[in-house]
Amino acid sequence: MTGEAATSEAVARAWWNAVDRGDFAGAAQLCAESAVVEWPLSNERMATIDAWRLVNEHYPGTWRATITRLVTQGETVVTVASVFDDTTAVTAISFFTIRVGLIQMLVEYWPDRYTAPAWRSRWTEPLD
């Protein structure tokens, strides 16, 4: 792993650690001033990192987060994280673009679980 990859990985891990602590201002400090966050599945863009911080600070609950997978290639880091509060557990698939030690762009997919069609059940088994 190159120094750049190690730095990118460390930034993504620091981001999720801050989110896990509810330190959204700390997470925002890991971002470039021009950083943008997009959530394509809900058709939302936070054009400033301050907007992202405010969205998260106003969430009606307390998020916790754990990285379950992380892949780094150059200035791109992809994480799969388990994100949960007292009532909800979801998966976040996050694509970070990190340059010069700062998050430039973050695109996150928050997919909803769904029940698999019954017709596939003879070839599949539940993950959990």
Q: Over range 8-15, report the average pLDDT.
A: 96
**23 pLDDT exceeds 90?**
yes
In the prediction, which pLDDT does 42 show?
A: 96
Q: What is the pLDDT of residues 37-70, one digit of tens each?
A: 999 999 999 999 999 999 999 998 898 999 999 9
Which domains are delineated in the chain?
Answer: 3-111 (3.10.450.50)
**6 pLDDT exceeds 90?**
no
List Cβ<8 Å contacts ≥24 apart for 6-9: 7/98, 7/101, 8/72, 8/74, 8/75, 8/76, 8/77, 8/96, 8/98, 9/70, 9/72, 9/77
**4 pLDDT exceeds 70?**
no
